[in-house]
Amino acid sequence: MPASSLDQIVSLCKRKGFIFAGSDIYGGLANTWDYGPLGVELKNNVKRHWWKTFVHKRHDMVGLDAAILMNPKAWEASGHISNFNDPLIDCKACKQRFRGDKLLEEKLGVEAAAVITLEQLQPMLTAEKIACPHCGKCDWTPAKKFNLMFKTQQGVIEGEGTDIYLRPETAQGIFVNFKNIAQTSRLRLPFGVAQIGKAFRNEITPGNFTFRTREFEQMEIEYFVEPGAEGPAFEMWKDTVWNWFTGLGIDATKLRIREHATDELSHYSSRTLDIEYDFPWGWGELFGLANRGNFDLTQHQTFSKEDLQYTDPDDPTKKFLPYVVEPSFGCDRTVLTLLLNAYTEEELEGGDVRVVMKFDRRIAPVKVAVLPLSKKENLISKAQEVRSMLIDQMDGNIDFDVTGSIGKRYRRQDEAGTPSCVTIDFGTIGEDATQGEVDTVTIRDRDTLEQKRVPISELCTSLKMPN
């Protein structure tokens, strides 16, 4: 049985140390979340797997790590200062503020809500009798634009510094470095630049756990092509990304592709589609793919007065601004989807229920748990030896657990999603041949519950992870 509610995941995340409420001891700070010991391993593994797939395994991709703070002119050029707005609507009765399109979306569905204009929002909410989620009244102000960028000041003297912004997307860091990368990497079109990093948006209504927060992490690619080649590149990325999600075990029946209608497109895009996941509260965007044309490079060329054209290495007279296809992943939404997707309740014989997180091995926060059967000193030291060997020879986090019965320890690892447990018993240390031969251990599989005995010398090969 998969997770039926978000609460199940939120409480498992807290109990197991995947994700905690931010600033918890101070009563929290609304909609901030901290990744705990298991969560940070899971998230890092997702990022590592993403980087491996989209940067290291491809000949046409390189990486970048650009600064969060950028010259404010970059945000003028990108259109974020004038266009990066959401429709804000106030409840006249209780003065709470909401994102009008999202209120409408809950009632009419995402397609219908997406095409409603700013002016139509208040009349639609009234006509549909959509009440304030806070006080239950239906008395709305007209909707107005609310810019989502976080503004701050650079400089030590308050009031005299320059207004700067926390980046609302990682993409612009790539565009402003396009010339640097094209000149230093000797890449030929088509090529892409990938970046993973924090982005900040002053969302009007954050919520649904880590789905919508004001600080989040993106994994973005800007894929540069010759003008005219963007259509096939768009299709290629659509398939590649779909396969990446399903390749990680995300249930394809809970994924769908949603093309944006023309009047829903962002100011920079001529075609956009989202990959959506069927979250416990309904379909929501997990990933976006946009055809940005040469909008960004044109804007940055105009505002910076730098020539950002690409020169064809075979024909130096051929100069042009490349077109761009942008696959944009939310890292936190990917992690949330993987948590929801992995959650499984299995009824065991006798009516007992086993909770198991069925993560793909490549992203599981703990790769292997080493479990000495008892706390006897020579068993523990042998188990520590095995753990050290695994740490040296395998990639990832190796756990060591001596507390509680072996059954309880297996259950704990099931809830963490550990694919394999390695048990060291008295057979391993040559004290009880009935348990197994000397220098052999038992591997217990999380999903099949199968146990097999292998020599320590073959342990790493038996546990080998796929790439």
- Residue whose CB is nearest to ligand ATP in the complex, by number: 330
Contact with ligand ATP (CB under 6 A) among 216, 224, 268, 283: 216
Distance (Å, whole) CA 102 – CA 19 = 25
Contact predicate 140/125, CB 8 Å: yes
Distance (Å, whole) CA 33 – CA 210 = 7
- The reply on whether position 295 binds ligand ATP by CB under 6 A is no
Nearer to ligand ATP, 61 or 331 (CB): 331
- The reply on whether position 285 binds ligand ATP by CB under 6 A is yes
Backbone angles phi, psi at 115, to 5 degrees: -100, 5
- The reply on whether position 212 binds ligand ATP by CB under 6 A is yes
Nearer to ligand ATP, 333 or 362 (CB): 333
Distance (Å, whole) CA 402 – CA 376 = 10
- The reply on whether position 41 binds ligand ATP by CB under 6 A is no
- The reply on whether position 332 binds ligand ATP by CB under 6 A is yes
Minimum distance, C-beta of residue 286 to ligand ATP, in the bound complex (Å) = 6
Q: Which has the closest alpha carbon to 175: 318, 49, 74?
A: 74
Distance (Å, whole) CA 196 – CA 330 = 10
- The reply on whether position 330 binds ligand ATP by CB under 6 A is yes
Minimum distance, C-beta of residue 54 to ligand ATP, in the bound complex (Å) = 15
- The reply on whether position 98 binds ligand ATP by CB under 6 A is no
Residue with tokens 């789905």: 211
Distance (Å, whole) CA 316 – CA 435 = 73
Nearer to ligand ATP, 279 or 310 (CB): 279
Give the single-character DSSP code of 293.
Answer: E
- The reply on whether position 382 binds ligand ATP by CB under 6 A is no
Minimum distance, C-beta of residue 44 to ligand ATP, in the bound complex (Å) = 17
Minimum distance, C-beta of residue 398 to ligand ATP, in the bound complex (Å) = 31
Contact with ligand ATP (CB under 6 A) among 333, 387, 409, 446: 333
Distance (Å, whole) CA 199 – CA 382 = 46
Nearer to ligand ATP, 66 or 424 (CB): 66
Host H or E run for residue 409: helix 406-416
Backbone angles phi, psi at 82, to 5 degrees: -95, -25
- The reply on whether position 200 binds ligand ATP by CB under 6 A is no
Phi-psi domain of 459 (left: phi exceeds 0; alpha: psi -120 through 50; beta: other): alpha
Q: Interface mask (CB under 6 A) for ligand ATP, residues 218-257, using x and -? A: x---------------------------------------
Contact with ligand ATP (CB under 6 A) among 288, 365, 417, 436: 288
Minimum distance, C-beta of residue 3 to ligand ATP, in the bound complex (Å) = 19
267 is written with which tokens?
């100011």
- Total number of residues binding ligand ATP (CB under 6 A)? 15
- The reply on whether position 203 binds ligand ATP by CB under 6 A is yes
Contact predicate 209/9, CB 8 Å: yes
Give the single-character DSSP code of 207.
Answer: B
DSSP string, 228-259: T-HHHHHHHHHHHHHHHHHHTT--GGGEEEEE
Contact with ligand ATP (CB under 6 A) among 50, 234, 287, 410: 287
Nearer to ligand ATP, 333 or 367 (CB): 333
Minimum distance, C-beta of residue 328 to ligand ATP, in the bound complex (Å) = 4
- The reply on whether position 201 binds ligand ATP by CB under 6 A is yes
> Using alpha carbons only, what angle is made at residue 344 by residues 343 and 350, rounded to the nearest 5 degrees?
150
Contact predicate 220/194, CB 8 Å: yes
- The reply on whether position 328 binds ligand ATP by CB under 6 A is yes
Residues that bind ligand ATP in the complex, under the rule CB under 6 A: 169, 201, 203, 212-213, 216, 218, 285-288, 328, 330, 332-333
